[in-house]
Amino acid sequence: MYNANKPVADELPSSGRLLRSTAIAIVGAAAILVTVVLPSEYGIDPTGAGRVLGLTEMGEIKIQLAEEAAADAAAGTASAREGGAPEPATAGAAPPAAAEPASRAAANSVPTASAEAPPPAGPETRSDEISVTLSPGQGTEIKLVMDKGAQARFEWTANGGLLNYDTHGDGGGRSISYEKGRGVPGDEGLLVAAFDGNHGWFWRNRTKQDVTLTLRTTGAYRDLKRVL
């Protein structure tokens, strides 16, 4: 059987060449880490090449979105805790004549409106205005307490600055995101509550100077509260 010839010593790479190749590989990996990975993933750009290539902005956006998502989740948890326990059923309902099976009792547990009792009155139309000054990196959240289907017109401005925002709602174990924006000077429109609960906005100042936020609202909501 034919065996391949073993390479002679002169054909093998020398120790110096191996060390040189290893050093070149290490330097190349370090260059990729500094110029590509750090700017695009963490917004760190020690050489300035990442900003020229547009990678630093990509990393900054990733970090901002991650921080805002964490802050929004924390704010949602705080709002849910403020919601409290549901109110007890209205007193005065006649007790059942006899015990019913659990399934039938559950089906009959929904109260029916009395023909003589007027429907519950909804919240009256109200108007509010609030201003908050945000330092660089600071965020705030303002919510309207609204019934399902209630409407509120709003207008907010960053008073010459720019803000990131997230319009959302939570309540009764539910949550919804209506709209998001980044680097916006202001917004206006109509907010329609998808369910009973707290509906409003979270803002964060990502600029390098103070920004004064002014929010004006008019509509059928029960309360306006600053959560953060």
Section 137-164 average pLDDT = 97
Say which CATH number the domain at 154 has: 2.60.120.380
- Residue 196 domain-assigned (yes or no): yes
Number of domains in the chain: 2
CA distances from 67 to 115, 164, 201, 204 (A): 53, 12, 16, 10
pTM for this prediction:
0.51
Q: pLDDT tens across 62-114, in order?
A: 677 667 766 666 666 555 555 544 444 444 444 444 444 444 444 444 444 44
CA distances from 19 to 1, 8, 10, 27 (A): 37, 20, 17, 12
169 conformational bin, left if phi > 0, alpha if psi -120 to 50, beta if neither: beta
Contact 191, 199 (CB under 8 A): yes
The H or E element that residue 28 is part of is helix 15-32
The first and second tokens of residue 198, run together, are 């707290």
Could you list the residue range(s) of the whole structural domain that residue 36 is in? 13-53
- Residue 141 domain-assigned (yes or no): yes
The H or E element that residue 191 is part of is strand 186-192
d(CA 114, CA 118): 8
Section 180-186 average pLDDT = 96
Q: pLDDT tens across 13-56, in order?
A: 777 788 888 889 898 888 887 787 787 777 787 888 777 777 77
